[in-house]
A and B are shown apart, each in its own frame.
Chain A
């Protein structure tokens, strides 16, 4: 374990430095993305104003606001673009340079990305959670944040990130078969966002949503968000987090197997 960290520490550092170099771009990007949350914030405000009931599909207005922003937050933290990095290296052949070095191909990406996440966490995590809690505090007159839940939320986010990382590495290997990952990337993004409950809470989709809850996509975003909101009781938390762990193991093993078979097919011209 210690050796692992020693080997990959430079990658983490590189990722962090890269993020520092592009921090202004990142901030603008973030500001743009958070705008989408505010659109949904106002739309749902109007929806709840229009409804005679105080809750819709079991969500109150407060719940919905927390849902919108925490879903955004967890989407950001669990985001992984390993697929682009892998795909690009396969296409331009620079993957060959990685293969002759005594480091694991996917671990390099993992640690490099984690380095970038350190800064992102500081910029994204604190403002959003503080904002959401302030909102809840004002509208309820009481402090709602539950520390054990917050810790479980962070743990669940880590699992979600792992699943997403390996899922994206697997997807990146599609570059062996497809020339361009851009079009399929959009399709993937839309499908994942929908199936993971990032666009509409799965609870709104009735029985269909219940089924989606068991798929790996729900583990990416829905599970941590529900834990944060306190919508799950203890047995549910245990169940869904075990499910996350299961999917993480399945995806990690699958990505290793695919990596091995893909390497046999790999042809790099020149270099």
Chain B
């Protein structure tokens, strides 16, 4: 285990050196991500300029509502585990898009370390820092600017269990990528399947109650991104959904096992491109 940590550090160092060589590229990528988030936020701002709070109604009766600050908090929170996963484990995307397709996976099999680990830590994606920093900034900004009646609902000890569960939330992202990227061992390319599953993450940025039952169960149980964003965020804000924390751990471990199973099955049926 320690050996792997040490190795990961070496890989990150190597990548930072590469980065220094292409400073402009890196900068442009980071600016792009920042702009993307800024536009999304502007969008939220425009939406909320028309309404006092986002409500969920059933038969015309308001059941639940979220203020602008709460939605910002949930939105910002969703970027934190996603950003951390993006920072460390982004290379799985390349696997599904071209590594297997080009037959480059051979390299990973000929080294004396776990192939999954090697793919994971080969790339250190600094662009993701933009995502992470914006997420943290939004969470801080939204809590500081909250009106008194909402802010008083936040109990600070609730942050601790959420932080404790955070690694499991991050692992949900990594496992979804692992499982879908591993499909490429059979089909040569599976980046598009990863993309499809990843897009459901957009649902998790908003309160899960506004969706219909089908989508709600998909993002809670099947591709459980809501467990990485809405549920922990609303737990900090209001103490709602405490059940989601143990469920996150359980689901995350389960997903991890499934994804590892698919990965190992996939590696054993991997055929090189033969060129």
Q: Which residue of A lies closest to B57 (CB)?
A: A49
Contacts of B189 on A, CB cut-off 8 Å?
25
List, in ascending order, chain A residues with CB within 8 A of B1's CB. Answer: none
- Contact string against B for A residues 169-197, beta-carbon threshold 8 Å, 1 for contact and 0 otherwise: 00000000011101111110111011000
Closest Cβ neighbor of B210 among chain A residues = A46
Q: B54 at interface (Cβ–Cβ under 8 A)? A: yes
- B33 near A: Cβ within 8 Å? yes
Identify the closest chain A residue to B27 (Cβ): A183
Determine the distance from Cα of A43 to Cα of B230 in the docked complex, in whole angstroms: 14
User: What is the distance, in angstroms, from B32's C-beta to the closest C-beta of chain A?
Assistant: 3
Q: Which residues of B contact A180 (CB under 8 A)?
A: 22, 25
Q: Which of these, A28, A47, A179, A199, contacts B54 with CB under 8 Å?
A: A47
A238 CA / B110 CA spacing, docked (Å): 65
Q: In chain A, residues 121-136, which have Cβ atoms closer than 8 Å to a Cβ of chain B? A: none
Instruction: Tell whether B124 is near chain A: CB-to-CB under 8 Å.
Output: no
Q: Give Cα distance in the complex from A218 to B56, angstroms.
A: 33
Q: Are A29 and B196 within 8 A (Cβ)?
A: yes
B163 within 8 A of A: no
Interface residues contributed by chain A, number (CB under 8 Å): 40
Q: Tell me the smallest distance from the CB of A46 to a CB of chain B, in Å.
A: 4
Chain A residues near B51: list those with CB within 8 A: 47, 50-51, 56
CA distance A132 to B24 in the complex (A): 43
The answer, yes or no, to whether A57 is at the interface (CB within 8 Å) is yes
Q: Mark B190-207, 1 if CB is under 8 A from A, else 0.
A: 011101111110110111
The answer on a CB contact under 8 Å between A187 and B28 is: yes
Find out whether the CB atom of A200 lies under 8 angstroms from the CB atom of B193: no
**CA of A115 to CA of B231 in the docked complex: distance in angstroms?**
46
Q: Which of B231-264 contact A (CB under 8 A)?
A: none
Contact A36 B202 (CB under 8 A): yes
**Which residues of the other chain, B, contact A45 by a CB distance below 8 angstroms?**
210
A25: nearest chain-B partner, CB-CB: B192
In the assembled complex, how far is the CB of residue A153 from the closest CB belonging to chain B, in whole angstroms?
25
A57's contact among B39, B43, B50, B206, by CB below 8 Å, is which? B50
- Let me know if B25 and A179 touch, CB within 8 A: yes
Contact present for A35 and B33 (CB under 8 Å): no
Interface residues on B, range: 35 or more
Q: Which residues of A contact B65 (CB under 8 A)?
A: 50
Given A29-B192, A49-B55, A56-B50, the answer on whether A35 and B25 have CB atoms closer than 8 Å is no
Set of chain A residues within 8 Å of B266, measured between Cβ atoms: none
List CB contacts (< 8 Å) of B26-44 with chain A: 26-33, 35-36, 39-40, 42-43
Asked whether B211 is an interface residue with its Cβ less than 8 Å from the other chain, the reply is yes
Q: In whole angstroms, how far apart are the Cα atoms of A189 and B29 in the complex?
A: 12
B47 contacts A by Cβ under 8 Å: yes
From B22, B36, B210, give the contact of A42 (CB < 8 A).
Answer: B210
With contacts A25-B189, A46-B210, A50-B65 taken as known, whether A182 is within 8 angstroms of B43 at the C-beta atoms is no
* CA distance in complex: A269, B139 (Å): 51
Instruction: Tell me the complex Cα distance, A191–B31, Å.
Output: 12
User: Which of B47, B53, B57, B195 interacts with A32 by CB under 8 Å?
Assistant: B195
Q: How far is the CA of A123 from the CA of B31 in the complex (A)?
A: 34
B147 at the interface (CB under 8 A from A): no
Could you tell me which B residues sit within 8 Å of A by CB distance? 22, 24-33, 35-36, 39-40, 42-43, 46-47, 50-57, 65, 189, 191-193, 195-200, 202-203, 205-207, 210-212, 215
Supplied contacts A36-B199, A50-B57, A186-B35, 15 more A-B pairs, CB within 8 Å? A25-B191, A31-B196, A36-B202, A39-B203, A42-B210, A45-B210, A46-B207, A50-B52, A179-B25, A180-B25, A185-B32, A187-B28, A190-B36, A190-B39, A199-B39
Enumerate chain A interface residues (CB-CB to B < 8 A): 24-26, 28-29, 31-33, 35-36, 38-39, 42-43, 45-47, 49-51, 56-57, 178-180, 182-187, 189-191, 193-194, 199-200, 204-205
